[in-house]
């Protein structure tokens, strides 16, 4: 059994995965940045924003937490206070899809086990 992924300090990494369409990335990013202190106070330890190649009107956000409870609480906040208000989420272009994820494996590979990208074979 592989131990759960942890950050450099040994804390469990729980990810709140969010994805949804947007109407304008710059406007969306301004709204996202406005909640920086709220994210920090809610226990977000790191975030990553991604977009599908070729689709500027869709975002995928990963918010890292040290507990499932904190991720669940922040998801409730997003649902009830942010996404429910067009002034708080002015570029939201559709219903967000979310999942709270727990790690089951991480890293480039386990010792003695090589991983190969099948597209590079």
What band does 105 get if pLDDT is binned at 50, 70 and 90? Answer: confident
Does some domain include residue 89?
yes
pLDDT of 34 above 50: yes
pLDDT value at residue 51: 96
- Positive/negative CA dihedral, 52, 55, 60, 61: positive
Q: What is the mean pLDDT of residues 8-32?
A: 90
Query: Which residues in the chain belong to E strands, given as ranges?
Result: 14-21, 46-50, 58-65, 97-101
Does some domain include residue 113?
no
- Positive/negative CA dihedral, 108, 109, 114, 115: negative
Does some domain include residue 2?
no
| Segment 46-92, tens digit of pLDDT | 999 999 999 999 999 999 999 999 999 999 999 999 999 999 999 99
CATH of the domain at 57: 3.30.70.100
Rounded CA-CA distance 102/5 in Å is 8
pLDDT value at residue 107: 73
Residue 98: which domain range?
A: 14-105
Number of structural domains the chain divides into: 1
């Amino acid at each position: 059994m592989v131990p759960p992924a942890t950050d450099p300090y040994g804390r469990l990494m729980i990810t709140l995965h969010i994805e949804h369409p947007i109407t304008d990335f710059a406007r969306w990013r301004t709204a996202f940045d406005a909640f920086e202190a709220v994210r920090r106070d809610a226990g977000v330890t790191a975030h990553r924003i991604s977009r599908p190649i070729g689709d500027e009107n869709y975002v995928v956000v990963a918010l890292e937490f040290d507990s499932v409870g904190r991720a669940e609480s922040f998801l409730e906040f997003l649902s009830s206070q942010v996404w429910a208000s067009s002034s708080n989420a002015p570029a939201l272009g559709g219903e967000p899809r979310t999942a709270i994820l727990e790690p089951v494996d991480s890293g480039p590979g386990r010792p003695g086990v090589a991983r190969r990208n099948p597209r590079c074979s």
